[in-house]
Structure formats: C-alpha cells, structure tokens
Structure 1
Amino acid sequence: MHSNCSFIVRSNMKQSLDYTNPKQVVNFRDVGDFIKLISGIPIMPIKRLYRGGTIKYFSDISVIENPKTIFCLQKGHDPVMRGIRNVHFPILNDYEKYETETPEVRKWLRRIVGTIESGIEYPLYVHCLSGRDRTGVVIAALLRIIGVKEEEIIEEYNLSTGTEQMDYIYTALEGLRHLEFYFHGIDLQVVKGSLLG
C-alpha cells in the first residue's frame, strides 16, 4: 500500500459536497486509474469503471466521461439521457448498506452483480447521492470480485470526501469474505471478465 498516495490524492480531490455544481460531480473518479495509482500495477483498465455522486444537476454527460451504462443507487430515478442505459438499484435508507451480511443488502448487491453478469456496455458509472456510502459498498464488492487486495480497496474507498470513519468499509468487506457463497448462482468469472474487459 502506498501510504503517501492517499494523502496526495485526497488533497487533490478534496471538494465540498456541492451536489448542484453543473461542472463537477462529488467524489467522481476513474476507479481503474486510482487502483493503479494505489497498487502500482494496472489491475483494472482505466476509463471502464467510474464512481461518484448524483448526476441530477448537469446536462453535459462528458462531466462523467460519457458512460454507456449508469447504475443509479439513489431512491429517485436519474434524468433520461439518450444513448445511455440507466439501471436503477435503490435500497431503502432503513437498511445499513455497510451491513453486507443482512439479507436485504445481500439481495441488493446480488441484483447489481447479476446485471453485470448478464451483460452491460462500458464505461460504467456507479453513483448514489454523494458517491460514498452505497457507491462505496458496490465498488468494494466489484473490486473484491476482480481480486484487488483489501487494503487497496480500503484506500480507494477513503479517497472520497466524508469517509473519515473507516470502520464502515471494514464491516462491508467482512461480509464479503466468501464471494462464491455470497454470490452463489452468479458466475463471478463472467463478472470479472466483464469488469476487466
């Protein structure tokens, strides 16, 4: 793990959680690019998987690098954008998303991973309101599936503004220890191949 990497990247990425700025999306980043920066090796292709906050306040899709597929984890739907498949995966705020061992969260994550298994177009953009909690759990699950080390997943998660309490992501990763059991019936090799291109 590159301990200086997190400090440098966080200081460059720090932004207020201004959801209404039409020129930037909170906590937006290219996951493959930052995993490469953290690990020192190109584990995942760049320009394939993006994460961040809500997209309700801008009209120029290039702000989020022109994805072909968007996974919206918010309660409300995203605006319709021509040429983009938007898949809605809401989960009630009653459920703690970091508690990945609960049946509700497991069902939610299985739907998301199953959609990737069924086939999607890339680039993929995954978002919730602030691109941190729900998005952080989903990205952690996807990174585990492709074999990223736990400490690198935690460091990538901590790049987001508002993730000062690391205990949450540890809880999420603990529930994802046994991927084959957790995602039983989903071909994780297909999912991994899809994510890695």
Structure 2
Amino acid sequence: MTAAFRPANYRDVGEMLGLWFDVSPIPAGRLLRGGRFDLMTTAGDLGSPSTILNLRRGPDPAHLPGVRYVHVAAEDDLENYDTRQRRVRSWLGKALSVLATPDLAWPVYVHCTSGRDRTGVVIAAALLAIGVPRQVVAEEYMLSDGADPIAIDRAIDGILDWLPPTEFDPTRLRAALGSGGRGRAG
C-alpha cells in the first residue's frame, strides 16, 4: 500500500527510532501509530496489527478480521497534554497497561482521530517509561503533521514527574515493547 492511502500521521515507531539509535529499543513492525483507519480494507493496510488500541471517544468500526480491538477513550473534557492532571495520568496508565499486558497480541496499532495528540502523548509516555531520552521522544512526536512543540514539551514534563507510575509496571512495558511479550513481532 502506498503512503497516500495510510491514515494521517501513520508510522512504525520502532523504525522511526532507528533514526536516532543504532539499534532501536522497539523492533520495527511492533508498535505502529496513526490516525483513524475507517477507510482501510485490510489489516495489512495498517502494517498487519494483531491489536488496535483506540484512544478516540467513539468505538472503532470492527471491520478488519483477525484483529483485537481495545478502546481506552479519554474523557471529553480532558486536556490530553496536561499530564500533570490526575485524570490524564489515570487515562495514560490505562493505555500503557494495555501495552504492558503479557498476553497482548503484537504488533499493535495505537490511534486517535489524527494520530497526533492523544496518540502522541501515549507513545511519548511509553517511550519515556522504557528509557528513551526526552529529546528523542519530542523529535519523534514532531514527525506528526501539525505537531505543537510547546504542547509536547509540557506533556513530557508532566509524564517525567509521574514516572514511575503506579498504574502499570514499566519493566513489563519494556519487555512487551522490546518483543518480550507474546504474539508476533515485525
């Protein structure tokens, strides 16, 4: 599939981390991110995820066979970048707990509507939790169309104040993202 038909801000996080690391802490093909995928007709259009983590308020159309759909919606009034708020941290903890689940089927596609704001904050929190340097996390986020450097810096500040979290085990997350979890890796 050509990039023109991919969701907004679609990318392979492990592959992108290869821009900064000789060996990416996340294998290519394992963690995918982007926007809504309503027009995609096969899981292959999204990089063949086994699990889709939806951060939007509404449910995903469950039209891709063989994919597990997980919904961790942010509340309507949450400011996703204000990671100092207890409610935002709770939401982040729920999303990261999904990724840290030992029996989660991989690869995972994480998305919101545009693949930038909610998705960007969840991916930033995951990367920071496994020890990816702040500057790399900010630069990975800035690969998204319409990215706001001030907003992600504010979000990163709050995430770093929150880590290590009580909602999930960063060691499990590191193992899962690094291919220690069950399922297939790319």
User: What range describes the TM-score normalised by the shorter chain of this pair?
Assistant: 0.7 to 0.9
Structure showing greater radius of gyration is 1
Partners of 1:178 and 1:171 in 2: how far apart?
A: 11
Instruction: Give unmatched runs, 5+ long, in structure 2.
Output: 180-186
The correspondence for 2:158, drawn from 159, 175, 179, is 175
Q: Which residue of 2 aligns with 1:85?
A: 68
The question of 1:31 aligning with 2:22 is answered no
Partners of 1:29 and 1:36 in 2: how far apart?
A: 12
Q: How does 1:117-196 map to 2 (within 5 A)?
A: 117-119=100-102, 120-163=104-147, 165-181=148-164, 183-184=165-166, 186-196=168-178
Partners of 1:185 and 1:125 in 2: how far apart?
A: 21
1:38–1:156 Cα contact (<8 Å) kept: no
Instruction: Give the drift of 1:39.
Output: 3.4
Question: Quick one: structure 1 residues 170 and 152, their matched pair in 2 at CA, closer, same or farther if it must change by over 3 Å?
Answer: same
Q: Which residue of 2 aligns with 1:18?
A: none
Instruction: Give unmatched runs, 5+ long, in structure 1.
Output: 1-14, 16-20
Partners of 2:61 and 2:89 in 1: how far apart?
A: 27
Partners of 1:87 and 1:189 in 2: how far apart?
A: 22
Q: Which residue of 2 aligns with 1:76?
A: 58
Q: Which amino acid aligns with 1:152?
A: V
Partner SS state of residue 58, structure 1: coil
Partners of 1:39 and 1:136 in 2: how far apart?
A: 20
The question of 1:46 aligning with 2:40 is answered no
TM-score (normalised: structure 1): 0.83
Partner SS state of residue 171, structure 1: helix
- For the aligned residue pairs, the C-alpha RMSD in angstroms reads 1.6
| Equivalences, count | 175
Q: Percent identity?
A: 36
User: Which structure dedicates a bigger proportion of its chain to helix?
Assistant: 1
Partners of 1:176 and 1:82 in 2: how far apart?
A: 35
The correspondence for 1:103, drawn from 86, 103, 115, is 86
